[in-house]
A = this chain, B = another copy of it.
């Protein structure tokens, strides 16, 4: 069922399963992506069949802060042939064989001359490394170390049939408007060739999330970015400086398909609503998880959290960035991601969004002493029972802390109860006229679009 055949898209369920996402990943896996070029465009076109997105093209040479949008790279073929004419390294077998952004080359050379252009992993002799050279005009091949060692001292013919010329940088964007202009940003990178956990897992979960959200009402405006790493985020930020302050929270989704526990890396702010929300959801997930402080090394949170922007954008991942052996190698393949992990990652994103959507602040309209819950049918009829129900406790906490200075998340955190219990209690109390939504709270009413 090809992802590109839009007629078949009707068959995709609205709520994607782990198996659905694995299928999408498998289809996108062979495409040779880079930070520019037709691989990215093909990827975006196929995603467009899952959820309508806008594809933007930013011309080479556009200055973006300290950077410049690079020339566009495209590749048709690449190989190294031995003296007998046999392809000993072949791009057609794996797009990882070519150093990404290699300049075109066609020549004959000895092994000694070729050797500086060859990259391998002695510690993992059967894996092909992934290497790039975006801003340094050079070329190279990557290959399994055991294959490197098998090369004989003879003359080789080398060909990289690539182009590096003015064109554009492509990225995809989905904006799902809510009742407020305040935004939640979901960002994933789309610049890695045949790597699964790295780029495809984030792409799949982002696409699944966008599909769901476009089908239901929501308060926040959700902006999904499918962008080349680093230069893509820089480009987007440079072109949207006027509107980034609308971003109320965001997540970089990267490396969330493997089987390690979910790991959240906080934004540079460290205690923003998104940081506290994700930590709350993970703490109540019943699953092992990790929360780490911000550091300036990682994926595109580096740019969103750079000191000039300092946006409340964290990162949701699994295996820590750069610290697992399969990272940036051919071992990050289809077997490295699991349906269950992808499904659990997606569910966590849903839970995070659910908290963000409902995290209002209320004012207790009966703040002097407790209201009489009993006369409203909110209390057990016969008193004296040793245990007050959970929902009663959630109501008492919500009444106690709804002084306009505590959001529902604050109340959930302080009470130790799940956000959903507090939210449900607040709804019940609101229905009975015991609460009133805080005017201008959570940046909703006061900042609504006009």
Contact = CB atoms under 8 A, between A and B. Distances in A.
Given A308-B367, A309-B369, A296 B67 contact: no
Interface in A365-392: 366-372, 374-375, 381-388
A383 to B, nearest CB: 4
Nearest to A374: B135
Please provide the 9 A-B residue pairs with the shortest distance between their CB atoms, ordered closest to farther.
A308-B367, A308-B368, A296-B400, A296-B396, A307-B403, A66-B371, A132-B383, A131-B384, A234-B369
B381 A133 contact: yes
B368 A297 contact: no
Nearest to A371: B66
A66 B366 contact: yes
A286 interface: no
Interface stretch (A20-28, A54-62, A298-306, A440-448): A298-306
A100 to B, nearest CB: 8
Contacts of A396: 296-297, 302
16 contacts: A65-B368, A131-B382, A135-B372, A138-B382, A140-B382, A238-B369, A295-B397, A295-B415, A297-B396, A305-B400, A306-B369, A306-B370, A306-B400, A307-B367, A309-B368, A309-B369
A interface, how many residues as a size bin? 35 or more
A388 B386 CA distance: 54
A237 interface: yes
Given A238-B369, A306-B400, 14 more contacts: A65-B368, A100-B384, A133-B383, A134-B383, A135-B375, A136-B374, A234-B369, A302-B396, A307-B364, A307-B400, A308-B367, A309-B368, A322-B387, A328-B386
B268 A400 contact: yes
A119 B384 CA distance: 11
Interface in A119-143: 119, 129-136, 138, 140
A117 to B, nearest CB: 10
Contacts of A307: 364, 367, 399-403
A99 interface: yes
Contacts of A296: 370, 393, 396-397, 399-400
Contacts of A308: 364, 367-369
A402 B296 CA distance: 12
A306 B367 contact: yes
A386 B295 CA distance: 16
Contacts of A133: 381-383
B386 A65 contact: no
Interface in A93-118: 99-100
Contacts of A140: 382
A80 interface: no
A234 B119 CA distance: 70
Contacts of A99: 382
A7 interface: no
Contacts of A366: 65-66
Contacts of A238: 368-369
A241 interface: yes
Contacts of A369: 64-67, 233-234, 237-238, 303, 306, 308-309
Interface in A393-412: 393, 396-397, 399-403
Contacts of A234: 369-370
A297 B395 CA distance: 10
A327 B387 CA distance: 10
Contacts of A368: 65, 237-238, 241, 306, 308-309
B295 A384 contact: no
Nearest to A135: B374
A385 B309 CA distance: 27
